[in-house]
Chain A
């Protein structure tokens, strides 16, 4: 009987030991996976910081699309000079990741410059009749003084990376034919699926972004928190 007891005890102890080892083994895998994720995240943070340092050293403004904190920023020498909540019309994080992937491309680029902008419709900020008087008094040409409040415009970075900005302003189309051609050209280039993110924006904030974000404007994209 004692022999069987001993055997049973030994078997139970073995089972506990094996279980502990198994649990320990799994924990080890978790630990390894965690460490690897930490290394990857540190490497990515380092790359983002180095990229921003390049931009901050340029003493020119740059654009940051920050999906992690859901905000759009214009920064100059590392300081925020313009800020707007991202306010995406779609809150699908898959679309955000899709945008990030297209922005970074195969090379994993962290900085790209705007290649093209297109203003679809806008409204004059100051009535032309007032600007005519101001122009006469100041001796500056009226067209230099006018600013357009955008109804809709797009920022493009190439490779189907497009940000579509819309406001509540009811403007007049800049050029109907050109707008149609622009849409058709992009439809031909990107026949499958959605290629842009749409953002609703306050008109004055949109005015600043439209005028600041001209071709050549450097941009960084911070991915969503995973």
Chain B
């Protein structure tokens, strides 16, 4: 009888314990710094004042504050995950097109040890300038990447052929612009700028104006 108990333990219980322990070991617990309290601080629930008038006033104030964030006019959205660009309001999409965004690749200059990471910046921006027939001013990394010498003459940095017909400048050297490599649209191949096909870019430039909000995520 006892032998059977030991056989049962050995054949069922022990493997079950091993499996559970193994699963627990394999499961990576969530680091403390990504929990909600670490991100948002104390998320305790705010309360309205008990007085009805004061409560209404407080609620209206909060509604207005949130409303301030909502864009009042159409805005540009760039989805870097799916490489899609939109010109939209909350309820309507006026343009949806394929684009290309930053690769996330890295470049280190072996001589100076300078480092670049080619990401499209994420967050909130606005259109700063609309440029017709833009010329690309090649930054240092463009020469380093091609194993070329960085030119001393500023004029040697300009290339009139790669940015397409238009560019929307959204600051810090980043643009939404055209491309001569339309077949690569939809793939994350850029150094941070947002490339759009010729026809879609024409439409976008017509609709957007200086100050148009750009949301990149």
Contacts and interface: CB of A to CB of B under 8 A. Distances in A.
Contacts of A109: 36, 43
Contact of A145 (B34, B52, B56, B189): B189
Is the interface on chain A under 10, 10 to 19, 20 to 34, or 35 or more residues? 35 or more
Contacts of A51: 43
A145 B215 contact: no
Contacts of B66: 49, 52-53, 56, 78
Interface stretch (A3-11, A25-33, A91-99, A133-141): A133-141
A50 to B, nearest CB: 5
Given A81-B79, A207-B82, A212-B81, A54 B58 contact: no
Interface in B73-95: 75, 77, 79, 81-84, 90
A36 interface: no
B71 interface: yes
Residue in B46, B58, B71, B75 with the greatest tally of chain A CB atoms within 10 Å: B46
A115 interface: yes
Given A139-B145, A215-B30, A56 B62 contact: no
Contacts of B81: 147, 207-208, 211-212
A61 B217 contact: yes
Given A147-B82, A208-B79, A218 B39 contact: yes
A112 B39 CA distance: 9
Interface in A209-225: 211-212, 215-216, 218
A141 B30 CA distance: 29
A18 interface: no
Contacts of B27: 185
Contacts, number: 146
B69 A50 contact: no
Residue in B27, B48, B84, B145 with the greatest tally of chain A CB atoms within 10 Å: B48
B209 interface: no
A16 interface: no
B40 A111 contact: yes
B198 interface: no
Interface in B32-56: 34-36, 39-40, 43, 45-48, 52, 55-56
A144 B123 contact: no
B7 interface: no
Nearest to A130: B187
B114 interface: no
Interface string A67-92: 00000001011111110000000000
Contacts of A60: 123
B179 to A, nearest CB: 12
Interface of A: 39, 42-43, 45-47, 49-56, 59-61, 74, 76-82, 108-113, 115-116, 125-126, 131, 134, 138-141, 144-145, 147, 158, 178, 181, 184-185, 188, 204-205, 207-208, 211-212, 215-216, 218
| Nearest 8 CB-CB pairings of A with B | A78-B69, A216-B34, A211-B81, A140-B105, A140-B103, A49-B62, A61-B217, A115-B30
Interface of B: 19-20, 23, 26-27, 30, 34-36, 39-40, 43, 45-48, 52, 55-56, 58-59, 62-63, 65-66, 68-71, 75, 77, 79, 81-84, 90, 103-105, 118, 122-124, 145, 184, 186-189, 213, 215, 217
10 contacts: A42-B48, A46-B58, A59-B124, A76-B123, A78-B68, A109-B36, A126-B187, A139-B145, A144-B104, A211-B81
